[in-house]
Amino acid sequence: MKIDWPFFAIKPSITISSLCYSIFRIEPYTSCTYSCVFCYARWYRKPLPLTSPQILEAWKRLANSLRNVDLPPPFFRLSTLTEPFQEQLEARHRTSLNIMRIAHKHEVPLIVNTKSDLIGKSPWIDELLRLADKNLVLVQVSLTATDPEISKALEPNAPMPERRLKLIEYLKGHDVPVIARLQPLIPGIERPQLEAARKALDHGSLGIIVEPLRETRDGLIKVAKALRKDPEEYLIEFKWEPYVPSSSDSELLRPNLEWRREIFQELHAVISRYGRIMTICKNGLWLNLSSHDADCCQSQYIKAPHSIRETLYERLVRSRESLPNIHVLHEEHFMRYPRIIRRALKLHHNKLRKILGKKDLLNELVHYA
């Protein structure tokens, strides 16, 4: 099977092409045993006719080819569609462990996104510490709420939040850069989610990334039931709007703008009190609430040189200077990367250019707090 750019990059879309600083990912698995009620990844997963050795072989080839480029590599997310350290699969196949080994060998930066504390155990922690020694990693620990009852209802098979908080503390204590992803932000559990942000910061999270819920109507009914709310009232109370801007026939819905503004403001106030930063993921450009000193993945905590792409922010508000560890890519740089990388960068760049030409769409994407 020919491995092309979609294997390593997210597809261009209004949200991703206009907002995401890195579009690259490496997916170790095609299913997730955690069965979170709100899992958005379920719509994007495709059965992948690749075995673990084939995935690793493709990753090895790409990582190796990036060594010959005279620009820093982009960072890759491990992973976007499944939990990479889900115990049942990872203990047997060790695909994520081997992905980390290859990243270490070829010096490709990773953002590890997990709810599992398996990564805090040997041999995973040993590999993670090796990556951290070379400044090649940032860990993002996903939290929904730290209340065990809420977590049990929404993320039935994931490790309890207490274990994830301990993981944050452990990683911080071992000089592994770690931040919490508070996601998804869910109407009806605002207080517990603010509490989760506080706890993550108390346990050493360097910053917080937030991302509101996106769901189908049926999915919202499931979320409401899990939270023991009346589904009909839940649908009415939060005035759900289409997730894709300018699209009234989007099947995906998100909480209304005012709800999002309010929760972002409250979280921003909490996080600022700790002197840390908040970034908002995949939810338009919030000029005064999301920190724009950093990219929204907060990749500044990866100290090894890496590249990021330009987004709506750089095009509309302020161009970004390259830093010793962060190289800002421009179109003329794309050709210097292997085909898989340059093709994905080009497609997202073209999509971004089209978005910039649509005034109505831009009005929906840009928010001034």
Binding residue count for ligand SF4, defined by CB under 6 A: 11
What is the largest distance, in Å, between two alpha-carbon atoms of the chain? 57
- Interface residues for ligand SF4 in 151-180 (CB under 6 A)? 155, 158
Give the three-state DSSP class for 139. Answer: strand
| Sequence-ordered alpha helix ranges (H) in the chain | 5-8, 14-19, 52-66, 87-93, 95-106, 124-133, 148-154, 161-173, 190-202, 217-226, 231-237, 257-273, 312-316, 339-356, 359-365
Q: Which residue has the tokens 């990388």?
A: 341
83 binds ligand SF4 (CB under 6 A): yes
Residue 108 sits at φ, ψ, to 5 deg, of -105, 125
Chosen residue from 9, 23, 39, 280 binding ligand SF4 by CB under 6 A: 39
181 binds ligand SF4 (CB under 6 A): no
272 binds ligand SF4 (CB under 6 A): no
281 binds ligand SF4 (CB under 6 A): no
214 binds ligand SF4 (CB under 6 A): no
> Cβ of residue 39: shortest distance to ligand SF4, in angstroms?
3
Distance (Å, whole) CA 363 – CA 225: 34
25 binds ligand SF4 (CB under 6 A): no
> Cβ of residue 146: shortest distance to ligand SF4, in angstroms?
16
> Cβ of residue 84: shortest distance to ligand SF4, in angstroms?
9
85 binds ligand SF4 (CB under 6 A): no
Q: Which region among 36-44, 124-132, 198-206, 250-258 touches ligand SF4 (by CB under 6 A)? A: 36-44
Nearer to ligand SF4, 142 or 300 (CB): 142
Q: Which of 60, 96, 59, 80 is nearest to 10 (CA)?
A: 80
Cα dihedral sign for 242, 252, 110, 265? positive
Give the three-state DSSP class for 103. Answer: helix
- Interface residues for ligand SF4 in 112-151 (CB under 6 A)? 115
Nearer to ligand SF4, 88 or 272 (CB): 88
> Cβ of residue 37: shortest distance to ligand SF4, in angstroms?
9
48 binds ligand SF4 (CB under 6 A): no
Nearer to ligand SF4, 40 or 313 (CB): 40
111 binds ligand SF4 (CB under 6 A): no
CA angle in degrees (0–180, nearest 5) for 160-157-129: 60
82 binds ligand SF4 (CB under 6 A): yes
10 binds ligand SF4 (CB under 6 A): no
Nearer to ligand SF4, 211 or 295 (CB): 211
Show contacts of 342-349: CB within 8 Å, 24+ apart.
343/4, 343/5, 344/5, 344/8, 344/9, 344/23, 344/24, 345/23, 345/309, 347/5, 347/12, 348/9, 348/12, 348/16, 348/17, 348/20, 348/23, 348/309, 349/17, 349/309
252 binds ligand SF4 (CB under 6 A): no
Nearer to ligand SF4, 158 or 226 (CB): 158
Distance (Å, whole) CA 154 – CA 136: 32
Q: What is the binding site for ligand SF4 (CB under 6 A)?
A: 32, 34-36, 39, 41, 82-83, 115, 155, 158
